[in-house]
Amino acid sequence: MSETYRCRDIAFSLEKRGADQYTKTSYPLRYGVFSEIETPDAILQFNLNDEIIQARGKGRDWPDPQEWLKRTVGNDWIYYSTGGYAGVFEAIGEYYLPNTPYPTNSLIGGKFLSLPSVARLAGSWHDLLRDTAVGHDAPGAILDFLSRVLANSPAVLQKRAEALFAISGGRVTVLPPDARHVDYNVIPLTVAEGCLYKCRFCRVKTDSPFREMEPGEVDRQIRGLKSWYGPNLVNYNALFVGEHDALCADAGLLTASIHKACTALGLFSSVMRGASVFLFASVDSLLNAPEWLFEDLERFPAAIYINVGLESADQETLDRLGKPVTAAMITQAFARMQAINDRFANIEVTANFIIDEELPENHIPAFLRLVRDGLNRKKPKGCIYLSPRRIGRPSRSILFDFHRLKLESRLPTFLYIIQRL
């Protein structure tokens, strides 16, 4: 039960209960258990480790009272904008658009983070907290809470983020687009580093060759994650199994790691209902994965999302992108994706394709042969994510192409906005 204490014009609410299920709504919804401090200038929210996670300004210069700042576990401040709800939902499948502080491939959005009111709050929330000092007659629980959140200064939070990256051997540079279903609130566990292809066009690849983790390394990560997330673990019900091609890891290692991590990290006893697991796959790993792996994952009590980078079904385009697979393999991988989605209710395989104005002319016709002509009906499952090739280059003509392709596709089709953890 949440305890609220008011001191002059400041309200403190400890351990408030938000929604217990991720839901797509056109109004702000807070999830899980969190604490809140409301001052005349802002509403600040904290997780169960007393770290700031959300903030909204209350002044007249705040862009929109329905919009807010979110601080990620990687210590990025992200601004959630409505951008005119209908357009955003059509484009990304969510009502709110995440605006990131780093360059990404988004075609929509604005420079909200540099607006004075937004930049001020992201940069001065800790000073604001210091100003909320309450009298010594306040309840002990409030005084303790205030001293704990003050101790989690921006410098401390940055160090915490670096400690998280160290657990799995580095920062997660890209999350699967499907992580939008849990607002990107995932716990990162790496079962294999790197990827097979090192495609020329890719900006998120690592230099290291593909390497599977030893079971002992996975166990060590799980212990590290449990300790890092601490009391706030109860707010998590989703796992990201990294890195760029977890499906390429040994199938036994993959399923054992998922089972172990979800159990040890308490994802089934989270305050958030319904566990999810997200991972990336490649064309090779999707084609080579044994059927029993999907049968095993299907029995697992979590929704499994596997995202595969197909990029193009046109050979000239694949060659231009420097992706070392053939168009025939892309067609086979697309067929396996459909077969898995048709057979397994708890598994959704989704795919990414590139969009860009400067790709060979057969790229779009080849894409439509798969997602329109290759399917005899519209399907609700198996999202297609179109990813603009260039970073920081919003383009009206690509956005126009996206809307046209979305209409023609027989699969749910959205833009992929690259987000890191």
| Cβ at position 245, least distance to ligand SF4 in Å | 6
By C-beta, is 70 or 389 nearer to ligand SF4? 389
Question: Is residue 197 a contact point for ligand SF4 (CB under 6 A)?
Answer: yes
CA 3/CA 35 separation, integer angstroms:
9
Scanning residues 237 to 296, which ones bind ligand SF4 (CB under 6 A)? 244, 282
Q: Least Å distance between CB 198 and ligand SF4? A: 5
Q: Which of 202, 256, 327, 375 binds ligand SF4 (CB under 6 A)?
A: 202
Give the shortest CB-208-to-ligand SF4 separation in angstroms: 11
φ/ψ of 279, rounded to 5, equals: -155, 160
Identify the CA nearest to 160 among candidates 71, 242, 43: 71
Q: Which residue is nearest to ligand SF4 (CB)?
A: 202
Residue 198 as a binder of ligand SF4 (CB under 6 A): the answer is yes
- Counting other chains too, the contacts that 86-95 makes at CB distance below 8 Å and 24 or more residues apart are 89/24, 89/26, 90/403, 90/406, 91/399, 91/402, 91/414, 91/415, 92/180, 92/414, 92/415, 92/417, 93/24, 93/180, 93/383, 93/412, 93/414, 94/24, 94/180, 95/24, 95/25, 95/26
SS3 state at 44: strand
Contact 354, 316 (CB under 8 A): no
Give 186 or 286: the residue with its C-beta nearer to ligand SF4: 286
**Minimum distance from residue 195 beta carbon to ligand SF4 (Å):** 3
Q: Which residues contact 132 (CB under 8 A, 6 or more apart)?
A: 10, 37, 39, 146
- The distance of closest approach from Cβ of residue 189 to ligand SF4 in the complex, given in angstroms and rounded to an integer, is 18
Binding piece for ligand SF4, criterion CB under 6 A, among 124-132, 161-169, 202-210, 332-340: 202-210
If the CB atoms of residues 241 and 265 are measured against ligand SF4, the closer one turns out to be 241
Angstrom distance (rounded) from CA 348 to CA 338: 9
- Residue 309, interface with ligand SF4 (CB under 6 A)? yes
Decide whether 83 or 177 has the Cβ nearer to ligand SF4: 177
From the CB of 310, what's the least distance to ligand SF4, in Å? 10
For residue 244, the minimal CB distance to ligand SF4 (Å) is: 4
Q: How far apart are CA 413 and CA 407, in angstroms?
A: 8
Nearer to ligand SF4, 153 or 173 (CB): 173
Which one, 30 or 203, has the nearer CB to ligand SF4?
203
From residue 318, how far is each of 105, 199, 353 by CA, in Å? 19, 9, 11
**C-alpha dihedral sign at 339, 342, 348, 354:** positive
According to CB under 6 A, which residues from 203 to 232 bind ligand SF4? 204-205
Q: Is 195 in the site for ligand SF4 (CB under 6 A)?
A: yes
**Under the rule (CB under 6 A), what is the footprint of ligand SF4?**
195, 197-199, 202, 204-205, 244, 282, 309
